[in-house]
Amino acid sequence: MDIFYSKFQTYIDTLDIKKPNKYTIKNDIYLNILNVLKANYTDKSAKFKFWVRQTFRLVQIGSTDLVYVIKNDLLLVTHEQIYYRVVDCHVAVGQSGRDKTWAEIKRLYAGIPHQAVSIYINMCDTCQIRRSFPTPISGKPIVSIGFLTRL
């Protein structure tokens, strides 16, 4: 897990100067979003509150409050949960590779970048063993009695 987050952070650091803080939602921002949606947090800017109310909605399941993205009605995943969600989806699809894992993540969650899936797949031992290697091209021997009779 630590290796995953170190590689993921290295990728985030290579992004444009404006994007690293906004690439994934950290836990503290998630708590601020949760508090704005509960309407008991007033020291945030009006721009932040507007963005939260236009982008997210609060879902209560039992005593647990969850944040869902309005656009695609999927559960929002924080930066600290990305690894666990990617592992769960990767195992759920039977370790079938990047594309099927990404499809499962897109079906269930919001806020997980595609690059996180790629980093995890490159770290997965089972996927690295199953990856097919290109076979060398072997020519078919020409067996003929006469010259140019195999055409």
Strand, coil or helix: what is 68?
strand
Helix (H) or strand (E) holding 110: strand 109-110
Looking from the CA of 33 toward its CB, the CA atoms found within 13 Å total: 23
Summarize pLDDT for 101-115 with one digit per residue, the tens: 999 999 999 999 999
Dist. CA 46–CA 52, nearest whole Å: 10
Summarize pLDDT for 63-102 with one digit per residue, the tens: 999 999 999 999 999 999 999 999 999 999 998 888 999 9
The pTM score is 0.80
DSSP 80: G
Examine the pLDDT at 140 and tell me if it is beyond 70.
no
Domain extents for the chain? Answer: 1-16+79-129, 25-77
Helix (H) or strand (E) holding 60: strand 56-61
What's the mean per-residue pLDDT of the chain?
A: 87
Helix (H) or strand (E) holding 144: none
